[in-house]
């Protein structure tokens, strides 16, 4: 006699829905959300799952949103989070109010003096921002959290960089710690995902704002370029080695995998193309 199926509780459904939302590839959470809402067929469960998952997803992916009033873009991160759904943009001294589920900036307000850095810190921050903008304009589409989304072509990609700078006053040294993450998703007649992470560190002497900014930007450029080169080297063997080691031939269709022409699958080339890196 077959076992009777147990109906999941609303709490279990919510947790499952949250898992799917939080694990959506870069730029694809709205597509996942649409399907989940249809499958759940319960607006209360969906709304609760979405309200909990979207803020975490948006901050972890460091999504970039356009601020109304032609103020530019703001990064939604835990580092710029003030309270509730408010995020500081130090460049424009504005605070963006964000609707996480809709992934839009609904309004902006001027930042208060208490929310802004001190004049001393701002001098260094402004100098570093100027140098980083030069680098970002050369290497990334918009900001150092970059995404190139092309769902109509069945591919999405993202690059996220987090750099922490710690000042060692006693020895006049700046220590840099970087966390880089690259993601890519190809889903035409199959499902191939890349999730690569890398951590690095370096240091430079504490200098004037302008000289320090140039030194820091140079180190960041060096490490990120080096990491991209290492990705290229790692995936040179992907077509001839890794793909053939897979237990299941990709994609899962009735068409045989073209082993005679695996060179056409160059993930590094496609990732660089999608992200606009290394132009």
Question: What single string gives the DSSP state of each residue in 76-89?
Answer: --SSSB-STTEEEE
pLDDT tens, N- to C-terminus, the chain (279 residues):
455 667 889 999 999 999 999 999 988 999 999 999 999 999 999 999 999 999 999 999 999 999 998 889 999 999 999 988 999 999 999 999 999 999 999 999 999 999 999 999 999 999 999 999 999 888 887 666 666 666 777 788 888 999 999 998 888 999 999 999 998 888 777 788 888 899 999 999 999 999 999 999 999 999 999 998 888 887 776 666 665 665 455 555 555 555 555 555 555 555 555 555 555
Q: What's the CA gap between 257 and 121, in Å, rounded?
A: 56
Neighbour tally for 105: CB within 10 Å: 23
pLDDT given at position 237: 67
Cis peptide bond prior to 251, omega within 30° of 0: yes
Q: What's the CA gap between 202 and 179, in Å, rounded?
A: 12
- Tell me the helices (H) and strands (E) count for the chain, helix number first: 7, 9
Domains present along the chain, CATH in parentheses? 10-114 (3.30.1140.60), 118-275 (3.90.1150.210)
Are 207 and 144 a contacting pair, CB within 8 Å?
A: no
pLDDT given at position 1: 46
């Amino acid at each position: 006699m077959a076992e009777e199926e147990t109906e999941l509780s609303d709490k279990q459904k919510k947790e499952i829905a949250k898992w799917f939302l939080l694990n959506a590839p870069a730029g694809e959470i709205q597509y996942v959300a649409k399907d989940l809402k249809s499958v759940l067929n319960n607006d209360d469960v969906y709304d609760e799952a979405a309200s909990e998952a979207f803020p975490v997803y948006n901050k972890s992916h460091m999504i970039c949103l356009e601020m109304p009033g032609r103020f530019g873009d703001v990064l939604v991160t835990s580092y710029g989070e003030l309270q509730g759904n408010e995020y500081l943009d130090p460049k424009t001294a504005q605070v963006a109010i964000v609707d996480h589920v809709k992934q839009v900036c609904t309004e902006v307000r001027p930042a208060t003096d208490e929310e802004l850095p001190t004049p001393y810190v701002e001098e260094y921050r402004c100098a570093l921002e100027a140098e980083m903008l030069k680098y970002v304009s050369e290497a990334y589409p918009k900001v150092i959290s970059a995404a190139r989304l092309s769902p109509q072509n069945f591919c999405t990609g993202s690059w996220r960089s987090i750099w922490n700078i710690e000042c060692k006053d006693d020895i006049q040294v700046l220590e840099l710690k970087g966390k880089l993450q690259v993601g890519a998703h190809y889903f035409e007649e199959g499902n191939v995902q890349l999730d690569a992470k890398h951590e690095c560190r370096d240091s430079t002497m504490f200098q004037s704002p302008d000289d320090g900014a140039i030194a820091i930007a140079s180190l960041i450029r060096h490490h990120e370029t080096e990491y991209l080169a290492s990705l290229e080297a790692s995936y040179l063997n992907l077509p001839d080695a890794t793909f053939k080691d897979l237990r299941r031939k990709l994609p899962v269709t009735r068409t045989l995998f073209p082993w005679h022409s695996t060179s056409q699958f160059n993930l590094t080339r496609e990732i660089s193309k999608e992200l606009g890196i290394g132009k």
